[in-house]
Amino acid sequence: MQRYDSAIDMTGSDRDEDELPEHTKEPTVAGPIGPHMHHKRPLSPVAASSSSGPPSRSASPHSVHSPHSAIHSTDSPPNSAGHHDNTTSPHDLGAPLDLSLLSLPPVAVIPTRLSPEALHDLHEQLSAANADLVTTFPSDGQTADIHRARFFLGQINTPKRAAFELRKLGVHTEEVEAGTSREAVWQDDGLITVVKVEWWEKCLEKDGVQSINPYIVYVGRLTEGPPGGDGKKRALPSAEELVKEREMKRRRILERAQGDAGGSDSRVKVIPGKPWTKPNTTTSVDEEFGVKRPKLMRKTTSEYEREKGLANQVQPRYVREQLKLAVHRPHPLHCPNDAFINVLKTIKLSRTLQLDDIGIRAYSTAISAIQAYPYELLSSSTLLTLPGCDGKTSALFYEWYNSSPDDVSQRKIQAVEEIEQSEEYRVMKEFYQIWGVGAKTAREFYLDKGWRSLDDVIEFGWNQLSRVQQIGLKFYDEINFIPIPRPEVARIGALVGKVADELRPGYEYIITGGYRRGKEQSGDVDMVLCHRDEEQTRGGFLTMLVTRLEEEGWVTHTLYLGRGGGFGTQRVGEPPRSHGLAHGEGAEELEKAMVMWQEQDPASPFYKEEGGRNVSPHRRVDIILSPPSCVGTAVLGWTGGTTYERDLRRWVEKRWGWKFDSGGVWERGSGRRVELGEWAEGEDLVQCERRVIEGLGLEYFKPELRNTG
DNA sequence: CGGCAATTGT
DNA sequence: CGTAT
DNA sequence: GCCG
């Protein structure tokens, strides 16, 4: 059965239950994992009074009732209704309105949870009541004079949330201890009060300023902003023990990682920086080296000198013939221009985080072309000769090379430095590395939720995460920072193969992915499992296999288990929907399992124990179960790299009008299956893949030459 | 100026 | 919108 | 961002 750790060690959810919608738990293989729900935060008297305040929180401000009539009615005497405190007493005798907020300190509204309409109405009502209003906007919450505001209205229920929302607005506070005198609050300019919107609704309802006491959620004292930062947006020192524990765990992991694999912590140092996303302004680089006239770029004397040697170099075929698709050229794992490629990869990642699919495609193309280039690039004009590289790439190279002609390790590009220093990039990247969080979600975490660290995600968002995201966070460091050495990848593959074979004899497997392309270390293990008897690849065998691996402890969590969930219930044969045509006979679907894995054998060299406890690093393992009829395409499709795969599909479409996928090749017009990739008698999986490649009219490049970056 | 790989599961 | 290559 |  599924095993669970007794507790997740990254917690932090001691917030009140009503703060966030309950996460919808999936009734799946693994039960909900989650932090222990602590309720240890002592409620301050201020907080306590808020929680005993009026119950209603349903009405939005604008829906209460005609606000303007309340504000503009002038026929009743100046408001002096029931005040037990001096906080809002309208000493301005000349105030013509019942509802005058003249005596309030500068007011701002916390936009969170308020509809745009509600927010708008609230602003109008408050300014109609002569409040000294500091406007806020839900988009970014930033306003120049937000720091003037001392009184915040918001749909906020807990002090913790209040402090968090203030921080999002750039207002850094710490909660004021119980017993601060009420009188002090208005006098002391360093104090911030957060009051529920209900207070204002009540004022409107009663046509007069009401006591704020029952509605106060939070009183905080202004503190210094983040050290070194620009004074906005920075994590509170919250849930400190948990953060510290995480740190310790991370350090342990990294120490072990170095021991294991010689891996190093590649995380960028935290340097506060300016925003990295710029408006659509053309950079000076663009103007100087714009794509319009790249060929006119002046060569410096030194570039010219360096290039003289070029004439003697035999240019590779893909350059001579301008072969633009990665399937037509060899891409070794390492190449002479890896340092420059890494710069391009940073830009590509920033495009990913900006949801710029086209930028991703463009940089991928350039990267793979350079990866295929066998000589060290010495001049930007050489780059112009590579397919997929043009003015922009060339300009980037020019800046990069000349920033330090004599020391490769010192070369840099200003725009890339700025990307790497920007908080937005660093934080979104950190989120993006959570398994189950893509670019869209990473942006949402950063821009909409206002989170700035994994600890924020854990503390404020844990219950909003999907189950796989929770698992992704739980194993964040292991997944991202402890690479899997080749021998361990081989060991995992062999073990899966062995267990499969024990269940039913006759299975064969091949490890695909980066391992097969020759990587010394892998981020995960990908493998294609196959049986010559098609029946053995159906009927839920993969579920059976994963279940067995769970029982034996190897599989600790199942992130995804597709197809064949029910025994024999699966009738494959839906055509690729994009073309609305039926598959021909023998339509195939690949079953896939994505799991977390942990070494269980104490005798294994990859097993690690501490205090009698198995602390072997968890590994990501993908198992693809293929019928014999398409195992060739499965192996080809799961070996990659990404750009190779994309270009493979483009080639198949362009050359043959077929559609390629890992489950087979199809005629686009008729939807009929093209018989390629069937596992032939006496043939191994590598030979089978080769027949597919050659059947598609392509030169066979071994996997080690498909490293398209 | 249009196109940029392609699939499935939740 | 997430995942894989 | 590059290509046809």
The pLDDT tens digits for A625-636 are 999 999 999 999
Residue whose CA is minimally distant from D1 C1': A362
Nucleotides of B under 7 A from a protein CB: 3-10
Residue positions counted in chain A: 709
Greater pLDDT, A47 or A334: A334
A17's CB contacts (< 8 A; 6+ apart) are none
Q: CA Rg, chain A, in Å?
A: 31
Predicted local distance difference test score (pLDDT) of residue A563:
62
Superfamily of A423-474 according to CATH: 5' to 3' exonuclease, C-terminal subdomain (1.10.150.20)
Query: A71: buried, middle or exposed (CB in 10 Å: 19+, 13-18, 0-12)?
Result: buried
A374-430 confidence digits (pLDDT tens): 999 999 999 999 999 999 999 999 999 999 999 999 999 999 999 999 999 999 999
Q: What share of chain A has pLDDT > 90, as a percent?
A: 45
> Is the Cβ–Cβ distance between A372 and A318 less than 8 Å?
yes
Query: A636: buried, middle or exposed (CB in 10 Å: 19+, 13-18, 0-12)?
Result: buried
Residue whose CA is minimally distant from B3 C1': A358
CB of A594 nearer than 7 A to strand C:
yes
Which 474-513 residues of chain A approach strand C with CB closer than 7 Å? Answer: 512-513
Work out the average pLDDT over A9-27.
33
Half-sphere exposure for A459 (CA within 13 Å, toward CB): 20
Predicted local distance difference test score (pLDDT) of residue A105:
81
Of chain A, the end-to-end C-alpha distance in Å amounts to 39
Q: What is the pTM of this model?
A: 0.66
Predicted local distance difference test score (pLDDT) of residue A588:
53
CB of A316 nearer than 7 A to strand C:
no
CB of A130 nearer than 7 A to strand D:
no
In this structure, of A4-13, A140-149, A450-459, A465-474, the range with the lowest mean pLDDT score is A4-13
Residue boundaries of the structural domains of chain A:
1-236, 239-421, 423-474, 480-705
- A39 — pLDDT class (breaks 50, 70, 90): very low
B7 C1' to A50 CA distance, Å: 52
In this structure, of A574-578, A640-644, A665-669, the range with the lowest mean pLDDT score is A574-578
Work out the average pLDDT over A81-90.
41
B1 C1' to A294 CA distance, Å: 20
C5 C1' to A624 CA distance, Å: 12
Distance CA A701, CA A323 (A): 15
3 state SS of A448: helix
- A210 — pLDDT class (breaks 50, 70, 90): confident
Distance CA A440, CA A462 (A): 18
**Residue A169 above 90 pLDDT?**
no
CATH, range A480-705: 3.30.460.10
User: What are the C-alpha distances in Å from A286 to residues A291, A380, A413, A414, A612?
Assistant: 8, 15, 13, 13, 59
CB of A470 nearer than 7 A to strand C:
no
CB of A438 nearer than 7 A to strand C:
yes
CB of A596 nearer than 7 A to strand C:
no
Distance CA A475, CA A460 (A): 19
B8 C1' to A660 CA distance, Å: 15
3 state SS of A468: helix
D2 C1' to A234 CA distance, Å: 40
A426 φ, ψ (degrees, to nearest 5): -60, -45
- How many C-beta neighbours within 10 Å does residue A562 have? 15
CB of A359 nearer than 7 A to strand D:
yes
**Residue A446 above 50 pLDDT?**
yes
Among positive and negative, which fits the CA dihedral A277, A281, A284, A289? positive
Superfamily of A1-236 according to CATH: BRCT domain (3.40.50.10190)
Among positive and negative, which fits the CA dihedral A510, A513, A519, A521? negative
CB of A423 nearer than 7 A to strand C:
no
Q: What share of chain A has pLDDT > 70, as a percent?
A: 66
Pick the most confident of A13-17, A305-309, A537-541, A692-696.
A692-696
A270-328 confidence digits (pLDDT tens): 223 334 544 333 333 333 333 323 333 445 556 655 665 566 789 999 999 999 999 99
Q: What is the mean pLDDT of chain A?
A: 73
Domain A239-421 identical in fold to domain A423-474: yes
B6 C1' to A678 CA distance, Å: 20
CB of A703 nearer than 7 A to strand C:
no
CB of A330 nearer than 7 A to strand C:
no
Among positive and negative, which fits the CA dihedral A234, A238, A239, A244? positive
Nucleotides of C under 7 A from a protein CB: 1-5
**Residue A264 above 70 pLDDT?**
no
> Is the Cβ–Cβ distance between A553 and A600 less than 8 Å?
yes
> Is the Cβ–Cβ distance between A387 and A319 less than 8 Å?
yes
Residue whose CA is minimally distant from B9 C1': A562
Beta strands in A91-164 (DSSP E): 107-110, 133-134, 151-154
**Residue A582 above 70 pLDDT?**
no
CB of A113 nearer than 7 A to strand D:
no
- A337 — pLDDT class (breaks 50, 70, 90): very high
Q: Which helix (H) or strand (E) holds A48?
A: helix A45-51
Predicted local distance difference test score (pLDDT) of residue A297:
47
| Helix pair A454-461, A240-261: axis angle to 10 deg | 130
A86-121 confidence digits (pLDDT tens): 444 444 433 345 677 777 788 888 877 766 667 677
CA nearest A402: which of A418, A391, A413? A413
A224-242 confidence digits (pLDDT tens): 654 333 332 223 233 343 3
CB of A361 nearer than 7 A to strand D:
yes
**Residue A13 above 60 pLDDT?**
no
**Residue A651 above 70 pLDDT?**
yes
Protein residues with beta carbon less than 7 Å from any atom of strand B = A 26, 358, 361-362, 560, 562-563, 574, 576-578, 589, 642, 645-646, 649-650, 653, 659-661, 663, 666
Tell the CATH topology of A239-421: DNA polymerase; domain 1 (1.10.150)
Predicted local distance difference test score (pLDDT) of residue A45:
30
- How many C-beta neighbours within 10 Å does residue A598 have? 21
